[in-house]
Structure 1
Amino acid sequence: MTLSPQFLDELRARTLLSTLIGRTTKLQKAGREFRACCPFHNEKTPSFYVNDDKGFYHCFGCSAHGDAIRWMTDQRGLPFMDAVKELAQAAGMELPALDPRAAEKAEAAKGLHEACADAASWFTDQLNGLAGAEARSVLEKRGIRSETARAFGLGYAPDSRGKLKDALKDYGDPLLIEAGLLISVEQKTPYDRFRGRLMIPIRDPRGRTVAFGGRIIGEGEPKYLNSPETPLFDKGRTLYNLDKAAPAARKTGRILVVEGYMDVIALAQAGFEEAVAPLGTALTEAQLERLWRMSDVPILCLDGDSAGQKAAIRAAHRALPMLAPGRSLAFVTLPQGQDPDDLVRAKGAPAFEALLKTPEQLVDKLWKYELEFEAHDTPEQKAGLKARLNELAGTISDISVRKEYETDFRNRFYEYFQAKRRSSLQPLQKKQQGKRGATGQWKQPIEPPSHFAKAVRNRGVDTILAQAVIAGLLRHPPEIGRHMAELGRLQLADSDLERIAEKLVDLAVEDAHSGKTLDSEGLLTILAASGFDIIAHDLLRADQLSCSFTQKDAEPAQARADLDEAIAILVSRPEVDAALADATAEMQARYSDEAFERQVALVKEQQALDARLANLVQANEDARVFSAEGN
């Protein structure tokens, strides 16, 4: 079927995107757009925007972006043509006539599907007949029940070069070769590909057999033999058991990835129906994308041996460039020498479930691997560790996730070596114990500069910090998109700040669609045309809170890092204040130890936020004084 660009444009124009998305996602009006918590990844504050005028949606958290058709394929999981058909029916449009060549191709694919289905049935008959006794014995030894074998369509290929070929002779050799069932060698008669093997059908997401995996019966190589690539079968895009695991994953809220067919089958028999396996190779980008459609954090359950752990690291490295907010991987390492099949047979389902409750997160897996990669006793080795961590973080495409990894790795690095240093200095510290103060602290709390303290007393910390943050975003417009989620959580008391913040969000949504990136001057020009010129220039001239990101010629990396910190404080402080007010009210109504402990903890959180803000301001004050003295 040929779908012209004009037809697809008309289909998009007739589809009101907010109505389509609103059927399954709760939308809120936000200026000219609608916003919601993103349906593609877990989040607590809205960063997903829908624009009916432009006909697109965009998430500033995970970068999901598309139109009505993309919504149907990515969120609903429909094939492209099914998505078009459903939208066309809703819009009252007729599909174009079927292209003869497309009809011919579809008919050929139909023949391949039928041949694979008939081959699967024939293999099953052989397993259950006289010839399949040895294969049935293998299944019995592995604890695979007959009902499980039926559910997965297991079969047996006799050790013969022509029995399958004879059984399916009506299809003809060329089609059976194309389906991967026969092997064609120059100047020789085609013969059966699978011989003397336990046969495992590989199915597409719709449950149709598209290929086979064959496990050798007895001795021989290779142990597993897969179908070759065919018009129906793309090994790098296929996951074994996806047709059964996808609905199971929707119920359990998780998807498990194991190494092989028999692991999947054994786990399903033990009650873990949400397991899939790649087909004898490392996970590909396409397979990872399929997994993330079912769960934000797929769990890789790999053997504890060297090969299993190398596979885990390969998967981790492959996933890094594709990470997005809320989207990651987790890992379960099985006991040495065991795979999931061994574990559930030896110790039962509860033993495997216990491992799934405490998976290792991706960042922990990477840190542990790099830490154990080599010794780190010398400065050069420490520098090597730091360089490897920075290189890993640098492969992450999503800016916000990359920054979190950089921060996490940096903190782990310094905490690890500080702990080692403290351990080596303990004897010396005991000698110096009497020289410290009663609190045992070596440093005094940082006091904020006097002009900052005065501004806080006059205006309040929330207002002056909000002014500084908006000024920082005006100085650095690309940061607006990175902080859409946080900006959506802000509730600013100052109406002027509220209005300009909403305008910045609108402009960021438009930029995301157009692919343009505004600079500060261009942003101010657009704001001036919308009547925000006075507010914007007042913010840029204000000096209630002097930070690197409010300065015109600040070092970009430092300004960006300081702006991240300021926004984090601005978002967190009202939430902590509100929680503290609730805890205080509860204490006044009725005293309890729990309420008291919560109140104390929240006061400490409040003080910690104040200290972070004071540190931020003090650092800029020190830099300003140093610069003045240098001049």
Structure 2
Amino acid sequence: MAGGISDDDLRKVREASDLVSIVGERVPVKQRGRDFWCCCPFHQEKTPSCKIDPHSQLWHCFGCGEGGDVFTFVMKLDGLSFPDAVRSLAQRAGIELSDSGGPRVPDSKKARLKEVCAATAEFYHLQLMRSPAPEAAAARSYLANRGFGGEVPKRWNLGFAPGSGSLVRHLSAKRIPVSDMIEANVALKGRDGRARDRFYNRVMFPICDQTGECIAFGGRVVGSGEPKYLNSQETPLFHKSQVLYGLDKAKADMTATGVAIITEGYTDVIALHEAGVRNAVATLGTALTMSHIRIISRHAKKRIVYLFDGDAAGQRAADRALEFIDESMTPEAGRTRIELCAVTLPDDQDPAEFVAAHGADALRELVAGAVPLLTYGIERRLSRHDLATAEGRTRALTDALSVLAPIKNSLLAKDYAHQIADRCRAREEDVLAMLARLRPPVRAEREEPLQIQGGAAQPDPHAGAAPSAPGSPAQIGQAESNRRRVERDFLCLCVRAPYLALAKADTLVQTRWHLPVHETLARSIADTLAACPSASSGEIVTAATAVEQRAARILTASSAREGVDDAALADYLAEELVIGDMEDAIEELRAELSGATELSADERDLLFQSVVASQKQLRALKAAHKPPVS
């Protein structure tokens, strides 16, 4: 079962949802060989780098590294949870799910967890409003001092978490299972095995989804203590990269004004809404993501404005925001262009302090004057240096120009480069040459797919970049980099052609994987096929994602070799892994031999003979090892 959806229903929806057709409904797709290609909808690009394999029903973008099956595609594009993506595709295909005939089944996991969150929010609110405890009084005093007294706690359902097991006892009295409390992340299991409250002595801010239903919590410690702010962890209901605090209250004003304001925390949102600026939301312990942008863009059609505090923390957040710059901000993005702007509050103020001192109209005026994020970033970089000196101008030029690295090939970048050259008194042709030499930032850990040429593993110049597990290629040797790519390509092939994974089951379970994530994925593939030998590629990826969140990105990252037989390629890659394992084993034997000072002469001789025999076997394997012929 997944989110109350049976495995049979899941299989029906998967079989009825052709990935090529579904992607084609969102972006133009073109066939190239056996696969289909399109411009990735998750980042801006001119040349298609997103591959759709109609046979395996998997997709992967070699530009941004995203990938997965049809459910993953809909989840990422529409900002949906896995169950909701399944329901959306079921509705498209005219399939009636066993849990969706009318109202949701009340005992479904999602409904149960929402009931836990609703009961928890009610308890916290009652504690804030009525508890005579000194700690609750301190929480009320904190809110009143922030200007959040009167009706504000009621409008935002604010609360107080006393801790000491009081919430667990309250929910248990309502006959809510402890397992549901823990899964909703309002309780934790202690070392003694008993449940305890997750939040203790904190002002509580219920976090709601777009419909206004409570799905998580944020807590601010009363008095001193660390961490100062504490959010719920990820749950089946709550995914930080897809939730914005206050969106349920802000979406109407976003639609009316066409503008969204992104702030740094929930208290900022409340302060602005209470002042009459009701198109403000906040991220929750994470940077703004493309999922956030897509969600906001459904309501705010004109601009999205970052509003940064003037203090040091706010300025650090401003610097982090520059990492979000990409080609979606350029005119070349066309209708999909995102108008991201930024502004900093003056005098080290936060939103509550600013509106209290200057009023809502002054804030609206400040937001209206927000500049594009690119301009904002460049001006911040230039302001760090003394432009009155040659040395300062040189440093400023390099610093400011680096902001343009993600969009270096756009006309907009060249326009900004001219402006930077003027400010730094540099020759435009020199600055444009510097711009051309910039290396775009790596947004995710990536490796290049392999291309088999003449028996050697070579980077594929046509496939672009693909994600890998941790380990920077700059910090490892070429041999290790090739080994990791072989591991990944073998796993990808096992997913693309599950019948080959069954034939190569020994390789899956016996290989000495160099990356722990590859070992985890190999074990998952083997376990899935052991339980269901007829499992499809999508089912294997879904099962792997349950144990490793990077599974979809990694297991779809390798391109099929045109004209190369999959079975021959599987043999080749399996042999590569065996050869690599033997080389590792020989190195270990050599190391043991060189350091074996306490061994007897006979023991050293036996170890030496083992090395010689292993080397002989390795030479024979390499002599017979030939790349597949296309």
**TM-score (normalizing by structure 2):** 0.52
The amino acid across from 1:331 in the alignment is A
Contact 1:2 1:96 in 2 (8 A): no
Measure how far apart 1:105 and its partner are: 13
Contact 2:307 2:345 in 1 (8 A): yes
Measure how far apart 1:19 and its partner are: 13
Measure how far apart 1:201 and its partner are: 0.7
Among 338, 341, 358, the residue aligned to 2:352: 341
Measure how far apart 1:12 and its partner are: 5.4
Measure how far apart 1:347 and its partner are: 2.6
Among 406, 410, 427, the residue aligned to 1:403: 410
Contact 2:397 2:424 in 1 (8 A): no
Match of 1:412 in 2: 419
Q: The residue matched to 2:157 in structure 1 has which SS?
A: coil
Q: For 1:32-51, what aligned pairs fall within 5 Å after superposition?
A: none
Structure 1: how far apart are the matches of 2:234 and 2:76? 25
Match of 1:112 in 2: 113
Match of 1:256 in 2: 261
Q: The residue matched to 2:249 in structure 1 has which SS?
A: helix
Match of 2:156 in 1: 152
What root-mean-square deviation, in Å, do the aligned CA atoms of Structure 1 and Structure 2 show?
5.5
Contact 1:116 1:210 in 2 (8 A): yes
**Residues 292-329 of structure 1: per-residue CA shift (max 9 Å, x gap):** 45446311111112321221121122344764532142
Among 318, 322, 331, the residue aligned to 2:324: 318
Structure 2: how far apart are the matches of 1:287 and 1:250? 16
Match of 1:623 in 2: none
Query: Is the alpha carbon distance of 1:402 and 1:336 closer, same or farther for their aligned partners in structure 2, counting shifts above 3 Å?
Result: farther
Contact 1:259 1:278 in 2 (8 A): yes
**Residues 99-147 of structure 1: per-residue CA shift (max 9 Å, x gap):** xxxx999834433322221111011111221434443343333332543
Match of 2:229 in 1: 225
Among 165, 175, 178, the residue aligned to 1:162: 165
Contact 1:256 1:300 in 2 (8 A): yes
Match of 2:147 in 1: 143
**Number of equivalenced pairs:** 407
Structure 1: how far apart are the matches of 2:43 and 2:151? 37
Q: For 1:55-454, what aligned pairs fall within 5 Å after superposition?
A: 82=84, 85=87, 88-89=90-91, 92-95=94-97, 107-131=108-132, 132-158=136-162, 160-169=163-172, 170-187=175-192, 189-217=194-222, 219-222=223-226, 224-232=228-236, 233-284=238-289, 286-295=291-300, 297-320=303-326, 323=329, 325=333, 326-376=337-387, 382-394=393-405, 396=406, 402-418=409-425
Measure how far apart 1:420 and its partner are: 12
Contact 1:204 1:210 in 2 (8 A): yes
Q: The residue matched to 1:214 in structure 2 has which SS?
A: strand
Deviates more, 1:167-176 or 1:79-88: 79-88
The amino acid across from 1:165 in the alignment is V
Structure 2: how far apart are the matches of 1:148 and 1:235? 25
- Structure 1 unaligned residues grouped into runs of 5+: 28-38, 43-61, 422-477, 479-514, 517-631
Match of 1:440 in 2: none
Measure how far apart 1:95 and its partner are: 4.8
Match of 2:545 in 1: none
Q: The residue matched to 2:125 in structure 1 has which SS?
A: helix
**Residues 522-577 of structure 1: per-residue CA shift (max 9 Å, x gap):** xxxxxxxxxxxxxxxxxxxxxxxxxxxxxxxxxxxxxxxxxxxxxxxxxxxxxxxx
The amino acid across from 1:365 in the alignment is Y
Structure 2: how far apart are the matches of 1:178 and 1:17? 33
Structure 2: how far apart are the matches of 1:336 and 1:71? 44
Measure how far apart 1:343 and its partner are: 1.7
Measure how far apart 1:256 and its partner are: 0.8
Measure how far apart 1:262 and its partner are: 1.3
Query: Is the alpha carbon distance of 1:15 and 1:187 closer, same or farther for their aligned partners in structure 2, counting shifts above 3 Å?
Result: closer
Contact 1:12 1:67 in 2 (8 A): no
Match of 1:465 in 2: none
The amino acid across from 2:113 in the alignment is L
Contact 2:240 2:285 in 1 (8 A): no
Query: Is the alpha carbon distance of 1:141 and 1:372 closer, same or farther for their aligned partners in structure 2, counting shifts above 3 Å?
Result: closer
The amino acid across from 2:307 in the alignment is C
Structure 2: how far apart are the matches of 1:197 and 1:333? 29
Query: Is the alpha carbon distance of 1:145 and 1:97 closer, same or farther for their aligned partners in structure 2, counting shifts above 3 Å?
Result: closer
Structure 2: how far apart are the matches of 1:114 and 1:248? 28
Measure how far apart 1:363 and its partner are: 1.7
Q: For 1:460-609, what aligned pairs fall within 5 Å after superposition?
A: none
Q: The residue matched to 2:215 in structure 1 has which SS?
A: strand
Measure how far apart 1:71 and its partner are: 9.9
Contact 1:376 1:382 in 2 (8 A): yes
Structure 2: how far apart are the matches of 1:229 and 1:76? 22
**Residues 416-438 of structure 1: per-residue CA shift (max 9 Å, x gap):** 244999xxxxxxxxxxxxxxxxx
Structure 2: how far apart are the matches of 1:406 and 1:272? 33
The amino acid across from 2:284 in the alignment is L
Query: Is the alpha carbon distance of 1:285 and 1:165 closer, same or farther for their aligned partners in structure 2, counting shifts above 3 Å?
Result: same
Using CA pairs below 8 Å that are at least 6 residues apart, which structure has the higher relative contact order?
2
Structure 2: how far apart are the matches of 1:92 and 1:199? 42
**Residues 381-429 of structure 1: per-residue CA shift (max 9 Å, x gap):** 54544444444322x2xxx7841343123211232244999xxxxxxxx
Query: Is the alpha carbon distance of 1:6 and 1:107 closer, same or farther for their aligned partners in structure 2, counting shifts above 3 Å?
Result: closer
Measure how far apart 1:236 and its partner are: 4.2
**Which is helix-richer, 1 or 2?**
1
Measure how far apart 1:241 and its partner are: 1.6
Query: Is the alpha carbon distance of 1:5 and 1:195 closer, same or farther for their aligned partners in structure 2, counting shifts above 3 Å?
Result: closer
Between Structure 1 and Structure 2, whose CA radius of gyration is higher? 1
Contact 1:180 1:227 in 2 (8 A): no
Query: Is the alpha carbon distance of 1:10 and 1:114 closer, same or farther for their aligned partners in structure 2, counting shifts above 3 Å?
Result: closer
Q: The residue matched to 2:410 in structure 1 has which SS?
A: helix
The amino acid across from 1:273 in the alignment is R
The amino acid across from 2:130 in the alignment is G
The amino acid across from 1:404 in the alignment is L
**Residues 237-288 of structure 1: per-residue CA shift (max 9 Å, x gap):** 4321222223332222111111221111111112222211122454455545
Query: Is the alpha carbon distance of 1:404 and 1:7 closer, same or farther for their aligned partners in structure 2, counting shifts above 3 Å?
Result: farther
Contact 1:72 1:83 in 2 (8 A): yes
Measure how far apart 1:161 and its partner are: 0.8
Structure 2: how far apart are the matches of 1:291 and 1:18? 22
Structure 2: how far apart are the matches of 1:189 and 1:97? 33
Q: Percent identity?
A: 31
Query: Is the alpha carbon distance of 1:3 and 1:382 closer, same or farther for their aligned partners in structure 2, counting shifts above 3 Å?
Result: farther
Query: Is the alpha carbon distance of 1:108 and 1:19 closer, same or farther for their aligned partners in structure 2, counting shifts above 3 Å?
Result: closer
Query: Is the alpha carbon distance of 1:161 and 1:14 closer, same or farther for their aligned partners in structure 2, counting shifts above 3 Å?
Result: closer
Structure 2: how far apart are the matches of 1:329 and 1:284? 12
